Amino acid sequence: MSNSRKWIPIPGSERQVVSDAKYVSPVQSDDQIKVTVIFRRRGNEPPVQSGGKLVPHFTTREQFGQAHGADPNDVAALERFAHSHHLTVVERHDPSRRLVLAGPAARMQEAFQVELGIYDVPRTGAKYRGCHGEVSLPEELEPGVIAVLGLDNRPIAKPHFRRRKPRASATSFTPLQIASLYQFPSGLTGDGQTIAIIELGGGYQTSDLDTYFSSLGIKNGPSVTAVSVDGGTNSPGGEADGEVMLDIEVAGAIAPASNIAVYFAPNTDQGFVDAISQAVHDTTRKPSIISISWGAPEDSWTAQSRDAMNAALQDAAALGVTVTVAAGDNGSTDGESDNEQHADFPAASPYSLACGGTTLHADGNTITSETVWNELSENEGATGGGVSRYFALPDYQKDAKVPVQPQTKFAGRGTPDVSGNADPSTGYSVLVNGQNEIIGGTSAVSPLWAGLIALINQKLGKPVGFLNPLVYPLGSKPFRDITKGNNGYYKAAAGWDACTGLGSPDGTALVDALQGSAQKSTSA
């Protein structure tokens, strides 16, 4: 390792070894590795929607990149550094502030001053490449970089879906029945909208999609395209197929004339961040909505990973792209075993529309009851929700009476923002690998809201964009306020709560309210 320069650690780049992992061996020196370097922005922070009115977004992604992409000087300096360590520049994308480098493990360890090893996790049978120590850069380069991702390739997230266990009292709904119960506006199809769906595994079969949409009476379903990120592919045949098919079938049934682009990436922090960045800055497909049904407790991420993803989500907000994110399926602890309360990420990002879960019962086309989804006592999950330990209370929640985080007393961002039916016992009828299944989880709520937003965008004739600052001032009128139940620590109450947020949607009322906001903005 070179001692001729002063090296500075990237803040928040050190990863802890998985609790029950065992060190197996060092990496082979010639193992090929790709890393993604995330740069700081040039210029000021991009303006995002605030207050209760629609505001103009950047006209094009190209304009955004010129104003808030990476500083070309930062990128050029890092490229020279990479070449000096015999690393190859595989991809450079200044608008999303990303540079992808490739090279042998020995060169990577030298360039970033780390030690890489292979670890085994007996509990899961998985192996991963772990990074020991903080990632460092020469002092003249470090200020321009916020993250170096890919040295550690452990799985980072889980899909937030749950298959229903057999029970006599269970029922199910098609996405169209849910849309009707929630009064989604009629006569709209999502025409002209592109919904991006982020997947970290699994795949879909086009024949299944055709069969499913046909069974719902949809003659012409959405156009579905698979997009590869960091080598990820549409690979049906595994457990994660349930997630992929649920996402596409729910969003596509609600918005059958939309285009759906499914971004497949490896389940690593590098893959997750790259997938979101690629979708946000995709100048070919130009998504107006992104749906994410994967996540993990905030604490399981490094600070550099959270910062990199949050920056990508901020890009989406500035570009007028709505990002819906599942809030988690393991109640207020988010599945952690420390008896403390944890929010799920990326739902906890202030730029996400975090989607919580309810248990919905209906008689015909009338909702008879709707409560917080909580079946923890039967080991069937509960809606995530809580208060962030890392992201401060955003302005749009200043009047929502979000409690402080109970363990840290931090005044953090509260999740979820909105909700919808998620209980597997009142789940969604979907088709997965030729089999009819009933699936629930907040994974279903994210594409449900994504489909609704596609309808709203079509109605308004423009993207609604960063929705959070628009919906909080609307009060309870466009929502079904859920006041019964809990997700463990937090209890439902009138108004916003950390179980179901503002509530489940009254789609028509929400369209009318947002249309009023758009008219006020136009007249202003």
Q: Catalytic residue positions?
A: 243, 247, 443
Distance CA 188, CA 480 (A): 22
List C-alpha distances in Å: 345 to 75, 302, 303, 310.
28, 11, 12, 10
Closest CA to 274 of 157, 447, 149: 149
Place of tokens 């997230």: 157
Contact (CB, 8 A) for 426 and 160: no
State the Cα angle at 509 between 506 and 511, rounded to 5°. Answer: 105
d(CA 151, CA 92): 18
CA 72 to CA 40: how far, in whole Å? 11
Kindly report the length of the chain.
524
Structure tokens at 3: 């001692």
What whole-number distance in Å separates Cα of residue 212 and Cα of residue 292? 22
Tell me the C-alpha distance between 514 and 35, whole Å.
42
Quote the DSSP letter at residue 5. S
Tokens standing for 134? 């903080």
Considering only CA atoms, which of 232, 342, 258, 244 is closest in space to residue 293? 244
Neighbouring C-alpha atoms within 13 Å toward the C-beta of 42: 18
Check if the beta carbon of residue 149 is closer than 8 Å to that of residue 38. yes
Nearest CA among 500, 246, 250 for reference residue 382: 500
69: Cβ contacts below 8 Å, ≥ 6 apart: 41, 42, 94, 95, 96, 97
Placement of tokens 């480098």 in the chain: 101
What would you measure as the largest C-alpha separation in the chain, in angstroms? 75
Contact assessment for residue 355 and residue 419, using Cβ atoms and an 8 Å cutoff: yes
Could you tell me the two tokens for 321? 């792209």
Neighbour-count burial for 306-337, b at 16+ CB within 10 Å, e otherwise:
bbbbbbbbbbbbbbbbbbbbbbbbbbbbbeee
Residue that has been written with the tokens 């060169």 in this structure: 107
Neighbours of 50 (CB within 10 A): 15
Q: Over the range 343-376, which residues count as b (16 or more CB within 10 Å of their CB) and which as e?
A: bbbbbbbbbbbbbbbbbbbbeeeebeebbbbbbb
Q: How far apart are CA 145 and CA 101, in angstroms?
A: 14
Given a contact cutoff of 8 angstroms between Cβ atoms, the answer to whether 390 and 359 are in contact is: no
Cα–Cα distance for residue pair 476/494, rounded to 1 Å: 9
